[in-house]
Amino acid sequence: MALLLGCIADDFTGGTDLAGMLVKAGMRTVQMIGVPKAPLPDDIDAVVIALKSRTIAPASAVAESLEALRWLRAEGCRQVYFKYCSTFDSTPRGNIGPVAEALMAALDSCFSIACPAFPANGRTIYKGHLFVGDVPLSESGMSRHPLTPMTDSNLVRVLQAQVKGKVGLVEQSTVAKGEAAIRERYAVLQNEGCNLAVVDAICDADLMDIGAACADLPLVTAGSGIALGLPQNFRRLGLLGDNPIADALPATGGLRAVVAGSCSVATQAQVAVMRAQHPSFKIEPLELARGGDLVSAALAWAALHIEAGPVLIYATDNAESIKDVQAQLGVEKASSLVEKALAAIAIGLVRLGVGKLIVAGGETSGAVVQALGINGLRIGPEIDPGVPWTTAITEVPSDKPLALALKSGNFGTADFFLKAWGKLA
């Protein structure tokens, strides 16, 4: 089946968030790291291309987004979705406005929406003002963000400062009347010369109606909330099944391992729970700094234990010990020593026959994914909110698929490393 929805996300975790939403809404989805170099599975409905374009120079963000768009169009995708943060992270220079306008121009489209609302996560828009929980965006923690301080809650004003065209507003009183009223308002705004419209949304029903009203737009720009409302459009056209199992992964065999480089409180608890039940091996940063070959030692140790069940290799430690290590080595050196070692261990584990791998830590996951030459992830069943099992997509497809769960720091319950295996077929 042809690709239905092609998404361009301005950062990786935002892309993961969107991919998870699409899978839940019944679309089989892969997330690619940058513009795809590897062939995609042929049975997917949506692709999310994750860029790192949120805070780079606007011209670079535009160029990268256009490259992603070219790839999506070559794949024949029907609709394009530009995904940004639900707190509209940007500055007067961009990058939301310039990227949205460049994508619209490339798609020959003269109108799109801007809607970062995600009511389930406390992001609502009313009369164009974005609220974070109970407070306006400008009174939320985002007003002090180091790179994209959001000091104005009025998204019409914020977006207008970033674009050449005219920005309008679809108010909640219109959204509440449903799809037809929203479409009518789009038409009125276009007649008034608007190219972009901020759309109010305060509940999931609003997102569904906005999504329905966007069926014919070549480009939608939004947070991940609108992903709730788009799959129904493809269903109506008969392009998407009513109840497809969108999170099915190819069967993966092989041995099981956890590699933990996160030191967050949640990961510390998860490591303690797993250590109590399974063999574990600790990577000491000071030993790495002294030149100790802990990679070989860990892999030799793993070879002895891994046939019997899952093993844990971890650098996770408490805040006090980390401070001590960082004081001796410097923060960057400590981090990079540990990341490099854990990435090399991940490669060794896969060579040992690991087919199911959990990685804990955002930066650690990035290092492991890069070391394993992974270009993308097919999104599978969720283990805990925000952490799905995935299978790796590599430039040269492997006959032994690797199942990966990439868990950022504070996600997951204490028994995450124990229960995760049972969620895989």
List residues near ligand ADP by CB under 6 A: 261-264, 267, 285, 315-317, 322, 325-326, 334-335, 338-339, 361-364, 408-409
As a dihedral over the C-alpha atoms of residue 76, residue 221, residue 410, residue 348, rounded to 10 degrees, the angle is 20
Residue whose CB is less far from ligand ADP, 231 or 361 = 361
User: Using CA atoms, how far apart are residues 351 and 295, in angstroms rounded to an integer?
Assistant: 13
Enumerate the β-bridge partners of residue 80.
6, 219
Residue whose CB is less far from ligand ADP, 196 or 288 = 288
Residue whose CB is less far from ligand ADP, 41 or 366 = 366
> How far is the CA of 268 from the CAs of 139, 271, 420, in angstroms?
33, 5, 17
User: Using CA atoms, how far apart are residues 45 and 28, in angstroms rounded to an integer?
Assistant: 5
Q: How far is the CB of 412 from ligand ADP (least distance, A)?
A: 11
Q: How far is the CB of 281 from ligand ADP (least distance, A)?
A: 13
Element (H, E) at 170: strand 166-170
Helices 204-213 & 179-191 angle (0-180, nearest 10): 60
Residue whose CB is less far from ligand ADP, 210 or 315 = 315
Token pair, residue 357, equals 């791998």
Q: How far is the CB of 377 from ligand ADP (least distance, A)?
A: 17
Residue whose CB is less far from ligand ADP, 14 or 128 = 14
Q: How far is the CB of 13 from ligand ADP (least distance, A)?
A: 10
Enumerate the β-bridge partners of residue 300.
none
CB atoms within 10 A of CB 121: 15
Residue whose CB is less far from ligand ADP, 106 or 297 = 297
Residue whose CB is less far from ligand ADP, 287 or 382 = 287
Q: How far is the CB of 17 from ligand ADP (least distance, A)?
A: 15
Q: How far is the CB of 364 from ligand ADP (least distance, A)?
A: 3
Place of tokens 């394009």: 80
CB atoms within 10 A of CB 48: 30
H helix runs in 130-284, sequence order: 155-160, 172-175, 179-191, 204-213, 231-236, 265-275
Q: How far is the CB of 142 from ligand ADP (least distance, A)?
A: 20
Q: How far is CA 421 from the centre of its chain?
A: 22
Residue whose CB is less far from ligand ADP, 171 or 284 = 284
Residue whose CB is less far from ligand ADP, 140 or 408 = 408
User: Using CA atoms, how far apart are residues 111 and 325, in angstroms rounded to an integer?
Assistant: 54
Name the amino acid, one letter, at 309. G
Q: How far is CA 84 from the centre of its chain?
A: 10
Residues 155 and 128 sit within 8 Å (Cβ to Cβ): yes
Residues 173 and 185 sit within 8 Å (Cβ to Cβ): no
User: Using CA atoms, how far apart are residues 235 and 230, in angstroms rounded to an integer?
Assistant: 9
Residue whose CB is less far from ligand ADP, 239 or 414 = 414
Q: How far is the CB of 337 from ligand ADP (least distance, A)?
A: 7
Residue whose CB is less far from ligand ADP, 299 or 334 = 334
Q: How far is the CB of 408 from ligand ADP (least distance, A)?
A: 4
User: Using CA atoms, how far apart are residues 238 and 130, in angstroms rounded to an integer?
Assistant: 35
CB atoms within 10 A of CB 220: 25
User: Using CA atoms, how far apart are residues 423 and 425, in angstroms rounded to an integer?
Assistant: 7
Q: How far is the CB of 236 from ligand ADP (least distance, A)?
A: 40
Q: How far is the CB of 338 from ligand ADP (least distance, A)?
A: 3
Element (H, E) at 335: helix 331-352
